[in-house]
Chain A
Amino acid sequence: MLPLLDTVIGFVAIMLVLSMLVKSLTSLIKNHVDFYSRNLKHEVDRLALAVLGKTWNQAVADLENNPATQRDAAWFKGINWERLGDEFLTKDHMKWILKKLGAPDAALENLEDRLEVHVAKLSYAFGTRMKNLALVVGLALCLGLDINSFAIWRTLYADQQLRTTFATTYAKTALQSAENAGTTGQKGSAPATPMARSGAAGGSVSPIEEQAKLDQDTRDFMNKLASFQKDVAFGVGRIWSWKAWQQEEEKAAQEKVEFGRLKKLEFGAVELLGSLMTGVLISIGAAYWHDLLRELTSFRQS
């Protein structure tokens, strides 16, 4: 019973570390590619279309064509969507803005309820996109590095020393780093909001500081990845490794089977399936693996 429990704990610890790596990488990509402001602009466009009967751009162009409102048009054109969050979509802000754009009073009734719907749609779109991005990042990482969950499980189950190390020291370190990184508690917690982006909310962080932080995050990620590859070398990159191919060849020789095309293909297929499975498993989320590992560790201790 204990070997199996240790194997499960070691495996879950590895999944947790991998999930955190994916989280870091997703966060890095999110900071480079701004999905949020595009969706925010779209929601404002939708609202303008419903209230004014024309899109935001058309309404601003109309203001621009009118000499009396040309100054307002310049202000509207100067809005930097990348620096705005959903706090922009408040009743007072939008009422003032839509009135400036020519909305009649009657069209502004129920504005608060409408805004709630738009904010909900915005959060949903952003959350869904982040989850999809995490899945892609997880798959790319596992397939690229060939992180095979079958090989990891098999090795942990077969090697007692490795199993004990991963079930105790490694699991403890993984739990600690997850707690430090704020991956605690709720299963399936919502993805980080765009407000977590450095400087997105108040614009108090300069671009140089923002770039420095991004560089630091990239370095941290690379260090964590190198450390993971070193620790879990037995289940990573087997398809790219000359040694692993030799081992497979020796294994086939011991079994008195020819290491021919079919055997090689089988080896490749197992690696592909194993990596694919790891990608799917880690897409469940770091919070889930953290909770599971904590419960399993306390069960082992008791």
Chain B
Amino acid sequence: MEGKLSGELREKDKKLIREIRGQRAVWVTAIGIIVIMLGVWVGPAIKLLFGYPLASRVQIAYAGMSLLIVFLVLMFGVGSWSRYVPEDSDVAPPESKVDIPTKPAVQDQNATPREGGEGGQANVATP
């Protein structure tokens, strides 16, 4: 029972992680494109102000690409989805109730008797 439930939970976690990942991937790509575009268009303007080579397009493109790479690795590597569970999963979903055994352990009649023991080994159903 618990195996099934935890499997369902895991599926739910995975689905949530996929959703968050998708949303953030769109954001990251958008920010990356904006940074590169800014580099390409703002570059010449800064060049007029500061002169060569401080504002060369190559330098700005390099800075944009560097930021994008670091941002992507940061988001995918250290961001909330890199954890094995989503951050907001501390609210118990309704199907997560686990059957807690309250009855005494059932004796398994077919079990091999223990050395020195009389009865079969208890097959304890654990949650």
Contacts and interface: CB of A to CB of B under 8 A. Distances in A.
B111 interface: no
Nearest to B66: A143
A133 B77 contact: yes
Contacts of A55: 90-92
Given A55-B91, A109-B126, A239-B62, A121 B84 contact: yes
A42 B85 contact: yes
Interface in A97-140: 104, 106-107, 109-110, 121, 124-125, 128-129, 132-133, 135-136, 139-140
Contacts, number: 93
A125 B59 CA distance: 37
B78 A240 contact: no
B106 to A, nearest CB: 12
Max count, chain A CB within 10 A of own CB: residue among B57, B66, B102:
B66
A129 B96 contact: no
A265 interface: yes
A205 to B, nearest CB: 26
B70 interface: yes
Interface string B29-73: 000000000000000000000001100111101100110011001
A271 B66 CA distance: 11
B100 interface: yes
Classify the interface of chain A: helix, strand, loop or mixed: helix
Nearest to B83: A125
- Bin chain A's interface residue count: 35 or more
A118 B59 CA distance: 48
Interface residues of B, number: 36
A57 interface: yes
B82 to A, nearest CB: 6
Max count, chain A CB within 10 A of own CB: residue among B78, B83, B92, B101:
B78
Interface stretch (A5-13, A43-51, A182-190): A43-51
A180 to B, nearest CB: 29
Contacts of A83: none
B25 interface: no
Nearest to A128: B82
Contacts of A275: 66
B127 A51 contact: yes
A37 B48 CA distance: 50
A110 B58 contact: no
Interface string B100-127: 1111000000000000000000001011
Contact of A58 (B58, B89, B92, B100): B92
Contacts of A276: 69
Contacts of A268: 58-59, 61-62
Contacts of A300: none
B61 A139 contact: no
Q: Which 3 A-B pairs have the closest CB atoms?
A: A132-B77, A143-B66, A268-B58
12 contacts: A42-B85, A49-B92, A51-B127, A53-B97, A128-B82, A129-B82, A129-B83, A133-B78, A143-B66, A245-B53, A267-B58, A268-B59
